[in-house]
């Protein structure tokens, strides 16, 4: 009989994506299961960033906007991200934060369907999306109705032509549940509504097909599975068919048709360039550019398959512990095809349990109410890492390490 360890090693040996791990700088003795919050450092980022600072900024000074094509970077890098979104060129811009891009996208969607007064919004949306949707509703005189994906069809039938837009998170940040993007998009369109997808927890982990699925607008961040670095700029996808009519609320000078004409009135640029706002943090933007190199030539379907297999392996290894620990539960969908790239467990003492795991070098995070999140980037996480995490959790719970005073932290900042 093979042991769990032998099984993990066999799976790692057969893993076609395993060599990608060498492209990341991972600290020794750490199992990093929080790449869904802050991706790991890509090898070439420090040197590329040093070059941007010393040569481009230091030597070229203001000339770098032309000589190093800083001006074009938000659209050029947008096109690189577009490849991960299933988007043809000229439909993605990089900049600002996801919060700001979401405000842009939802406002623009509602304006494209003016006269309709209702937004159907994910009951399980990430907080920033709910807070901003409420503000967009106040600004435009709309109403928000929060519904789960399961209740969406019924809500669409009931409210039909009242609905201007629907907005969902592609992967639930708490449970890791993956929604059916084409199906939900089509349901919205059947009532004439537009969709705004938040793909923060999907991009880089799940193959997306924004063009083929007729997605209208999508936003997402680049510091999670795309490893862009802390606070790296977010992106906005807007389908080309909407560009001419797209009326974005943030009309900054970088989105002007003639930004250096310094004219009085705003006149939007053609195409996705109208979604630019102002001067971006170029160091962060160009660090992201370097980090994206790891995705060159990577098949996201293979990444998704590995993520699903990792999840199944993690749950298999957890089976005994789950049987003997009634207070430990599985919150994520059991079916691999319905998960993104994380498995969430529940435990009444989630915070001290996670603190004890982190003390053992297994880094995940917690979310209320009592959820332990284990997310993995399949570009650098191995089967043996997940086995290690399970063994650590077994030890923490059997030894009662989470009861130790040093782990009674009120809230972990992760």
Ligand X SMILES: *Cc1c(COP(=O)(O)O)cnc(C)c1O
What is d(CA 111, CA 119) in angstroms, rounded to the nearest whole number?
A: 12
Q: Measured from the CB of residue 177, what is the shortest distance to ligand X in angstroms?
A: 13
What is d(CA 60, CA 23) in angstroms, rounded to the nearest whole number?
A: 29
Q: Whose Cβ is closer to ligand X: residue 194's or residue 221's? A: 221
Q: Measured from the CB of residue 343, what is the shortest distance to ligand X in angstroms?
A: 16
Q: Measured from the CB of residue 211, what is the shortest distance to ligand X in angstroms?
A: 21
Q: Whose Cβ is closer to ligand X: residue 80's or residue 201's? A: 201
Q: Measured from the CB of residue 224, what is the shortest distance to ligand X in angstroms?
A: 6
Among this protein's residues, is 126 annotated catalytic? yes
Specify burial of residue 63 (Cβ count, 10 A radius: 0-12, 13-18, 19+).
Answer: exposed
Place of tokens 């004439």: 192
Q: Whose Cβ is closer to ligand X: residue 126's or residue 313's? A: 126
Q: Measured from the CB of residue 180, what is the shortest distance to ligand X in angstroms?
A: 17
The half-sphere exposure of 78 on its side-chain side, counting CA atoms within 13 A, is 27
Q: Active-site residue among 373, 374, 380, 383?
A: 373
Contact between 290 and 51 (Cβ < 8 Å): no
Q: Whose Cβ is closer to ligand X: residue 104's or residue 185's? A: 104
Among this protein's residues, is 224 annotated catalytic? yes
Among this protein's residues, is 223 annotated catalytic? yes
Residues that bind ligand X in the complex, under the rule CB under 6 A: 97-99, 126, 128-129, 169, 173, 198, 200-201, 221, 234
Q: Active-site residue among 122, 172, 198, 289?
A: 198
Interacting residues of 3 by C-beta distance below 8 A, sequence separation 6+: none
Q: Active-site residue among 174, 224, 306, 339?
A: 224
What is d(CA 339, CA 312) in angstroms, rounded to the nearest whole number?
A: 10
| Angle, alpha carbons 31-177-95 (nearest 5°) | 75
Q: Measured from the CB of residue 37, what is the shortest distance to ligand X in angstroms?
A: 7
Q: Whose Cβ is closer to ligand X: residue 200's or residue 397's? A: 200
What is d(CA 165, CA 216) in angstroms, rounded to the nearest whole number?
A: 10
Q: Whose Cβ is closer to ligand X: residue 83's or residue 367's? A: 367
Show which residues are catalytic: 126, 198, 223-224, 373
């Amino acid at each position: 009989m093979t042991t769990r360890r032998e099984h993990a090693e066999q799976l790692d040996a057969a893993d076609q994506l395993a060599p990608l791990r060498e492209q990341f700088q991972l600290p020794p003795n750490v199992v990093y299961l929080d790449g869904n919050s802050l991706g790991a450092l890509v090898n070439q980022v420090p040197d590329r960033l040093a070059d941007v600072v010393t040569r481009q900024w230091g030597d070229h000074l203001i000339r770098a906007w032309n000589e190093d094509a800083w001006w074009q970077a938000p659209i050029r890098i947008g096109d690189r991200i577009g490849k991960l979104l299933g988007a043809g060129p000229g439909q993605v811009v990089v900049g600002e934060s996801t919060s700001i891009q979401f405000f842009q996208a939802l406002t623009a969607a509602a304006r494209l369907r003016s006269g309709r007064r209702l937004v159907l919004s994910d009951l399980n949306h990430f907080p920033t999306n709910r807070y901003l949707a409420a503000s967009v509703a106040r600004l435009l005189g709309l109403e928000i109705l929060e519904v789960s994906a399961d209740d969406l069809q019924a809500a669409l039938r009931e409210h039909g032509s009242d609905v201007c837009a629907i907005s969902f998170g592609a992967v639930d940040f708490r449970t890791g549940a993956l929604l059916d993007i084409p199906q939900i998009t089509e349901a919205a369109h059947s009532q004439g509504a537009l969709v705004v997808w938040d793909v923060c927890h999907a991009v880089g982990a799940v193959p997306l097909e924004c063009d083929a699925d007729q997605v209208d607008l999508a936003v997402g961040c680049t510091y999670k599975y795309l490893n862009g670095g802390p606070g790296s700029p977010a992106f906005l996808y807007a389908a080309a068919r909407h560009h001419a009519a797209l009326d974005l609320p943030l009309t900054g000078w970088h989105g002007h048709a003639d930004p250096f004409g310094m004219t009085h009135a705003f006149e939007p640029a053609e195409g996705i360039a109208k979604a630019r706002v102002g001067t971006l943090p170029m160091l962060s933007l160009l660090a992201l550019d370097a980090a994206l190199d790891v995705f060159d030539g990577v098949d996201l379907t293979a990444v998704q398959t590995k993520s699903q297999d990792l999840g199944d392996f993690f749950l298999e290894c957890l089976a005994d512990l789950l049987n003997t620990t009634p207070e430990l539960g599985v919150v994520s969908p059991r079916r691999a095809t319905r998960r993104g790239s994380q498995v969430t467990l529940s435990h009444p003492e989630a915070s001290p349990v996670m603190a004890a795991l982190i003390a053992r070098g297994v880094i995940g995070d917690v979310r209320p109410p009592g959820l332990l999140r284990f997310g993995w980037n399949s570009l650098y996480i191995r089967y043996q890492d997940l086995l290690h995490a399970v063994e650590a959790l077994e030890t923490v719970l059997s030894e009662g390490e989470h009861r130790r005073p040093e782990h009674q932290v009120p809230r972990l900042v992760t």
